[in-house]
Structure 1
Amino acid sequence: MFALFIMIEMGISERKEREREEMRALILEAAKHLFLEHGYAKTSIRGIADRIEYSPATIYLYYKDKKELMLALQVEAFGKMNASFGELLAIADPFARLQRMGELYISFALENPQLYDLMFMLEAPMEALECQQDSWLNGMQSFDFLKQSIWDCVEAGYFEESADIDALALTVWSYMHGLVSLYLKGRMVIFGEDSQLDRLRESQRNFIDLLSKK
């Protein structure tokens, strides 16, 4: 009888946890759409609550404010991008790894344009990061991996030994972000609809090649 009681309690606990996760997902999805539709500043907790047809008090049971909601969305997005970089660990040559990282970055952005907007283009306060550094760690992982790949390229003789790793990593990221932003915002129409993506990928390859001294 006691074992049966424990099993029932465990079942109830698991169901409640599943319901909590489903509610978090519902809230985040509503917040994501409203942030993208109206911007961060014009989105309110009440608006998010209205979207899912619950009271604002329900939102506050899960997130203390919209800053925390934005951070949760960004953490989720960076986690997804980092997962897409998994294959890079198997590429021994650092220059080939750097080239492939650029290709995967482009693919992620083009396949997840809404997430990319939330990560890098939507205007939102950054002070939430200062008090939640642990949550932001996966947002730094991709940049740290980029820095490590560049350092490996230096050691392998692809880049100058005097290279500033931080500055070079920022240069690479800035170039990639600029390329992706131009494409996502429809600023590459000068190349024609059929060749825009080819030009995007070719530019990325050319840029990385130009960095090498070999």
Structure 2
Amino acid sequence: MKLTASTCALLVATQALGHYTFPSLIINGVTLPAWQSVRRTNNWEDRNPVTDVNNINLRCYTSQTNAKASTALVNAGSKIGFALNQSIYHKGVMNVYMAKVPQGTTAADWDGAGNVWFKVHEIGPITNGGSSISFPTDDMLRFEFDLPRALPSGQYLIRAEHIALQEAAQVNGAQFYLGCGQIEIAGGGNGNPGPLVAIPGVYDARDTSIHIDIYWPVPATYRNPGPAVWRG
């Protein structure tokens, strides 16, 4: 059957309905305009997830360093977060990573390559010894958390990812939805963030937190993939 242009457009739009992006930073309760301080991703229209943990798009869903945005000023210890373009449709977990921009460059010009990322926040499921599992990110439209006060001053990339696990029983079935913001920390401390990891590189497709059946048997416990959260 030959599909018309309008039918193809409808199929793409229908597929995108269940998918989501992270277009806006939230700073001390104020939601910034979409794609102002978050790099507009290659999937900003189709919203397709990353499913290959070794794909360069896992970093910021773009391999183009010219996917620039403005860099928002934030004080260390401030409340920060992300707003989504629509509520989270899939059951899964949230991780937030940051990476300090090297001296001599800016957040807008840096691609975040290398062992430079550390985790600052995560939202995992609520488990009950194998009798039930629930996901606090269900239907979430926004989330916020406090930046560590010990975070050193300077420019950073801040990256949110939601890992949808509804098809994770098969290898490469987990779906990664993500966005990278650009911030400059003022009034920072003397902390030493870590452990540092590379993205891609931090995950293995067979990690038991990524390759997992969340329906049966119901997981008795769960640990978000990646390093421990650095709290300063």
Answer yes or no: same fold by TM over 0.5: no
Larger radius of gyration between Structure 1 and Structure 2: 1
Bigger share in strand: 2
Compare relative contact order (CA 8 Å, sep 6+) and give the higher one, 1 or 2: 2
Higher helix share: 1
Q: What TM-score results when the alignment is normalised by the length of structure 2?
A: 0.25
